[in-house]
Chain A
C-alpha cells in the first residue's frame, strides 16, 4: 500500500504569513493528489485537485504543486478564516484507492 507522510503536524503562523505544507508518497503517484480543508463541525472542502488545480471558487492564495512523490501546499497570505486542519489525499482509479495524510492543524499565533 502507498503511504502518505504529511508534515508538519501543526503550525502556528501569524495572519499574513506564507504557509507551506508538504506531503510525501512512498512511491510515485504521478499527480494523483488532492488537498482538503477541514473545519470543526463542517464538511471537508476540496481546495486543490490533481496536485495543482485550484477548485472552483477557492481563493487564489491557495495553491498546490509537485508530482511523483513530493507535493507542496501553500497559502501565500494566511487569513483568519484559514484556521483549519489541512489534509493531502492520494487517489487512484484502478484499483480504487483513497488515502488521507495525517493532517496539519493550523492555529493562528
Chain B
C-alpha cells in the first residue's frame, strides 16, 4: 500500500529555515515523479516543487533560489529544504506521488499535509 507521511512543519521566524520530510512506504521514491504542493490560507493551491524520476526539477517562481527538493533513497524520503522563509510561505504543505513512471503529472497519492507557519 502506498503511504506518504509528511513531517517537519512548525513555527519559524521570517528569514529562518525548515526542512520538510515525506516518508514513503510501499514503493521507492527514486522510481517516481514526486513533489510538494501547498495551500496558502485563504488562497489557492500552488505547486511548490517537483522532482522527476530522472532528476529534473521544477520550482515555482515564488520559491526559486530558496527551496531545494531532494530524495534520500536510503531512508526512502522526499525532502524540501526551505531557506529564507517569508510570511507568505505560511501554508499547509502536501507531499505527492505520481501514478507511475509513465505519468509525470498524474499525482494520485497524497500525504495528509504539514503546517508551516512563518511568523515572529
Chain B nearest CB, measured from A6 CB (Å): 9
Neighbouring A residues of B39 by C-beta, 8 Å:
38
Contact of B105 among A91, A94, A102 (CB under 8 A): A91
Neighbouring A residues of B46 by C-beta, 8 Å:
100
**Most A C-beta atoms less than 10 A away, residue of B58, B105, B112:** B105
**In terms of DSSP, what is the predominant structure of the interface of chain B?**
strand
**Most A C-beta atoms less than 10 A away, residue of B35, B45, B52, B108:** B45
Given contacts A49-B105, A49-B106, contact A100 B44 (CB under 8 A): yes
* Residues A88-109 near B (CB distance < 8 A): 89, 91, 93-103
Query: Complex: how many Å from CA A87 to CA B104?
Result: 18
Is A44 touching B58 in the complex (CB atoms < 8 A)?
no
**Contact bitstring B17-29, A, C-beta under 8 A = 1, else 0:** 0000000000000
Is A99 touching B94 in the complex (CB atoms < 8 A)?
no
Report the nearest A residue to B59, measured CB to CB: A96
Is A87 touching B45 in the complex (CB atoms < 8 A)?
yes
- The tally of residues in B whose CB lies under 8 Å from a CB in A reads 25
Is A102 touching B94 in the complex (CB atoms < 8 A)?
no
Is B104 touching A96 in the complex (CB atoms < 8 A)?
yes
Is A97 touching B44 in the complex (CB atoms < 8 A)?
no
**Contact bitstring A26-60, B, C-beta under 8 A = 1, else 0:** 00000010101010000111100110000110000
Is B94 touching A44 in the complex (CB atoms < 8 A)?
yes
Could you list 6 further interchain pairs (A-B, Cβ under 8 angstroms) beyond the known A32-B105, A43-B111, A50-B106? A34-B105, A44-B94, A49-B106, A56-B108, A95-B56, A98-B105
| Interchain Cβ contacts under 8 Å between A and B, 11 examples | A1-B61, A43-B96, A43-B110, A43-B111, A43-B112, A44-B96, A46-B106, A49-B105, A50-B106, A93-B52, A95-B58
